[in-house]
Amino acid sequence: MDTLFNTKFEGEPATHTQPGVQLQSNTYDLQESNVRLKLTIVSTVGFGDQINKEDSYKPIVEFIDAQFEAYLQEELKIRRVLHTYHDSRIHVCLYFIAPTGHSLKSLDLVTMKKLDSKVNIIPIIAKADAISKSELTKFKIKITSELVSNGVQIYQFPTDDESVAEINGTMNAHLPFAVIGSTEELKIGNKMMRARQYPWGTVQVENEAHCDFVKLREMLIRVNMEDLREQTHTRHYELYRRCKLEEMGFKDTDPDSKPFSLQETYEAKRNEFLGELQKKEEEMRQMFVQRVKEKEAELKEAEKELHEKFDRLKKLHQDEKKKLEDKKKSLDDEVNAFKQRKTAAELLQSQGSQAGGSQTLKRDKEKKK
């Protein structure tokens, strides 16, 4: 892009470790002589870097649709200011193809197939100096054949205008363009030219014998810029607009082939929306009632379990209490029996002591006699 517009655009290089595809949009105001151009460049950061590339195209499609939706919402306003509206719709997709020399990747075919009804696609073979001239010619034929066989519709330069029919017809035969980019200027002969310096020689960016950069610049900026904008509006945007309005229930004629009534459609859609809203409300209410019943059942079950547990503990407590009372009674009986035996023993001992004393007294009396 720097080479194409001869400008140093701001932007930081991104790593190849992105978790998904991210789109970065930057808008620039360019001026050359008296010509002013508002240019928006959208980069698909991380495209093709993931192991699972199945959904790599989705963020790109969603971004393009979002720009169409924003334009549609502006168009549907009662007071439209489209002449001052910043049109953010994507007018051209420069789809870069790796210079493998073999065939297109499955990711390229799937992505271009998903995008061809939403944006003008111009396929470009990047870093074309990495492949020989003979291989490049075969590679272009191979790419064109694969695009046709897979039904991918790339942008064709218009040939209906006599003033550009010849050049556009010629350029259509050169698609896809093989380009080389460089902002480095080298002195070649007596002129400073943008080129790439290699140990084996120099590749000139603006030399049509070396690459198709000049062809791309001519077709994109000078010859067909307005047609790209027109194709975006009349073909891609109109397709999105028609599908979107049909989803909303709008049609050109009603089932009786009478002129379409916007008011009737609005009322029908409003009633349909209210019906769906009431249906969802009823479903949510039923769901709430069901959940309340389920919760009540759970609480009752928990309460039943608690009562059963309480009864078990109460019975266990009563059994333990009865055991303790029985044991206490047994101990009391043993204590009473022990006291009785002790009392009896003391009584016997006391009687024995009295008998011994009387015998001693009798012996003393006999001795005195």
Cβ atoms within 10 Å of 200's Cβ, excluding its own: 6
Tokens describing residue 293: 């019943």
What pLDDT shows up at residue 327? Answer: 93
Tokens describing residue 342: 């002790």
Cβ atoms within 10 Å of 100's Cβ, excluding its own: 14
What pLDDT shows up at residue 366? Answer: 64
What pLDDT shows up at residue 357? Answer: 67
Residue 264 confidence (pLDDT) above 90: no
AA identity, residue 123:
P
| CATH architecture of the domain with residue range 22-248 | 3-Layer(aba) Sandwich (3.40)
3-class DSSP string for 71-94: HHHHHCCCCCCCCCCCCCCCCCEE
* Mean model confidence pLDDT for the chain: 88
What pLDDT shows up at residue 17? Answer: 82
What pLDDT shows up at residue 16? Answer: 79
8-state DSSP, 130: G
What pLDDT shows up at residue 252? Answer: 66
Domain boundaries, the chain: 22-248, 261-341
What pLDDT shows up at residue 189? Answer: 83
Q: Which of 125, 95, 101 is nearest to 212 (CA)?
A: 125
96-110 pLDDT, tens digit each: 999 988 889 999 999
Contacts for 64 with CB less than 8 Å, ≥ 6 apart: 89, 90, 115, 118, 119
> Helix %, strand %, coil % for the chain, to 5?
55, 15, 30
At 101 the three-state DSSP class reads coil
Question: Which residue has tokens 């460089």?
Answer: 182
Got the DSSP string for 31-50? EETTEEEEEEEEEEETTT-S
275-284 pLDDT, tens digit each: 889 999 999 9
Q: Which of 22, 120, 19 is nearest to 63 (CA)?
A: 22
202-249 pLDDT, tens digit each: 999 998 999 999 999 999 988 999 999 999 999 999 999 999 888 877
